[in-house]
Amino acid sequence: MSAPADSTTAHSTTSVVTSPVGSLTGKLGTTSIVFMVVAAAAPLTVIGGAAPLGMLLGNGVGFPALYAISGVILLLFAVGLAAMTRVVPRPGAFFTYIGYGLGNRMGLAAAFLALLTYTTIQVSVYGYLGYILELTFTGLGAPSIPWWIWSLTMVAAVGVLGYRHIDVSSKVLGVLLLGEIGIVLLLVLVVVVTGGADGLSFTSFEPAQVTSGSPAIGLMFAIAAFIGFEATAIFRDEARDPEKTIPRATYAAVIGVGLFYTVASWGLIMAWGPDKIMAAVAEDPGGLILRTTERYLGSSGEVVVNVLLITSMFACVLSFHNVLARYQHSMAGVGALPSGLGRVHHSHLSPHTSSFAQTITGGVLVLLSGVLGLDPVLEVFTWFSGVATLAIAVLMAVTSIAVIVWFSRSTAPRSIWRTVVAPSLGLVGLVVAALAIGANFPMLVGDVDAAGVPRWGALSLGLVGLVLILPAIGWVQGTVMKQVRPQAYERLTDSLT
């Protein structure tokens, strides 16, 4: 990991009190930004948890190919996203680009949907992390402590790091990310060197295997595993050379994550053999990565993976905390949220008030989940991650439309590939993914009847309702803003030349 360049200075903010809205500045390089957004994707957690479920509920042995297909879809999406970062000199990603392309009210609708997306995915991981910590320490003989207390401890730890300079978070995330990626690649290397269970093959990429079972459900799990890579643009103000750094980080993140998921999931299948992997997955999906590691790296390797699974989830919530803090800071900067959230700390140079607000939000939601007696895995993790998965697919699809529309009206330099062809192809893939997620949403959130059959019950309808209600709030805010504060409304998307 190359350490981020040295210190930053905040523009127009000599003190927190005298500068209600400050500008974030910095010299983060491509590597640092990639580490932060890839950490949000939680690679080890995906391979250990989501990949086995994708095989079991999706297309079985052919599942690794869906990671490659998802990577191509999201790379096409990233082409349009990168094109916008070069001509829209603002952080904010989804809500900024959608605002420029489809109007300010759509931009505000997207802003609230993005806040819902990143908040729900963060809380879902807090729930799972609390559960794992409770299980781990109880197994070591420690007194039994409720999962939500462990989760609140993690909220506090993330809050401390998020309050400080972004360099601190980037270094912590870099170390944790290298650890989790390193152990998985070591596992795959050993599998390859030993020839796996039944010899190496590329059965997973044969068309008959890719289209077997339920590939639509598999695609849903595969797309969800990439959540976080698109947040590179939110760090624009803290990047060393944003016109170059942000596009490079975006491409590096999606390509790196796509290759890692494809190779690692293929390695899991080779470790057990194409004919035996499904039986191993069905026996215990969540424990597959640990059993595989114990088989090829011994008991010490299993312990390392167990520890890194915990640090992987911690890195995930820390990364999303930083994204949320900067999203709120960007919205405050254009008047969409209270100006207090736009303050920049005089020494840490961080969006400290926004970070603190996000810590409180995460803590309240975790505490509420604990008070209501929700199961940390079957309810907190499943429900909240289901909402985030649907919301992110919708956001990326709408962003692709916004990119195409904006460049069709703009006189800015452009290429047909970057501004029309690639975004259009990405849009097709994202619409298919969004439809697959929507159609299978009850299964995704565990809304089943007495016989275990997924159904559109009150739970599914209520959670999908959040994906509709939050954007509606943003739309209404935009309508009111246009009438009451027209100048502020126009400043949401200043004209670009």
CATH of the domain at 243: 1.20.1740.10
Residue range of the domain that includes 399: 30-491
DSSP string covering 106-166: HHHHHHHHHHHHHHHHHHHHHHHHHHHHHHHHHHTTPPP--HHHHHHHHHHHHHHHHHS-H
SS (H, E, C) 201-264: CCHHHCHHHHCCCCHHHHHHHHHHCCCCHHHHHHHHHHECCHHHHHHHHHHHHHHHHHHHHHHH
pLDDT of residue 147: 95
pLDDT of residue 414: 78
Query: Strand, coil or helix: what is 448?
Result: strand
Host H or E run for residue 266 = helix 242-272
Mean pLDDT, the chain, integer = 86
Residue 463 inside a domain? The answer is yes
pLDDT of residue 456: 94
Residue 76 inside a domain? The answer is yes
Q: Dihedral, CA atoms, 375, 380, 386, 389, nearest 10 degrees?
A: -140
- The share of the chain scoring above pLDDT 90, in percent, equals 54
Residue 278 inside a domain? The answer is yes
User: pLDDT: is 270 or 494 the higher one?
Assistant: 270
Distance between CA atoms of residues 346 and 15, nearest Å: 5
Confidence category of residue 10, pLDDT binned at 50, 70, 90: very low
Please check whether residue 430 is in contact with residue 449, taking contact to mean a CB–CB distance below 8 angstroms. no
pLDDT of residue 266: 97
Residue 18 inside a domain? The answer is no
Domain count, the chain: 1
Kindly give, in sequence order, each residue whose CB lies less than 8 Å from that of residue 10, ignoring residues fewer than 6 positions away. 22, 23, 24, 25, 344, 346, 349
pLDDT of residue 271: 97
Distance between CA atoms of residues 359 and 327, nearest Å: 14
Distance between CA atoms of residues 342 and 353, nearest Å: 7
Q: At what angle do helices 422-439 and 63-87 cross, to 10 degrees?
A: 130
pLDDT of residue 14: 34
Segment of 239-253, 312-326, 415-429 carrying the highest mean pLDDT? 415-429
Distance between CA atoms of residues 28 and 292, nearest Å: 37
pLDDT digits (tens, 9 = 90+) for 301-339: 989 998 998 988 998 898 888 888 888 888 887 788 888
pLDDT of residue 4: 37
**Mean pLDDT of the region 469-481:** 94
Pick from 112-121, 236-245, 297-306: least confident: 236-245
Residue 497 inside a domain? The answer is no
The answer, yes or no, to whether residue 474 has pLDDT greater than 90, is yes
The answer, yes or no, to whether residue 347 has pLDDT greater than 80, is no
Q: Write the CA distances from 270 to 57, 243, 259, 275, 293, integer angstroms.
A: 19, 41, 16, 10, 13
Distance between CA atoms of residues 126 and 148, nearest Å: 8
Residue 431 inside a domain? The answer is yes
**Mean pLDDT of the region 384-407:** 93
pLDDT of residue 360: 95
Residue 19 inside a domain? The answer is no
DSSP string covering 9-36: --BT-SSTTT-SS-B----B-HHHHHHH
In degrees, rounded to 5, the angle at the alpha carbon of residue 393 between the alpha carbons of residues 391 and 397 is 115
pLDDT of residue 331: 83
Measuring CA to CA, which residue among 476, 495, 484 is closest to residue 112? Answer: 476
The answer, yes or no, to whether residue 22 has pLDDT greater than 80, is no
> Both tokens of residue 170?
């980037």
Residue 212 inside a domain? The answer is yes
Please check whether residue 48 is in contact with residue 457, taking contact to mean a CB–CB distance below 8 angstroms. no
The answer, yes or no, to whether residue 463 has pLDDT greater than 80, is yes
pLDDT of residue 175: 84
Kindly give, in sequence order, each residue whose CB lies less than 8 Å from that of residue 476, ignoring residues fewer than 6 positions away. none
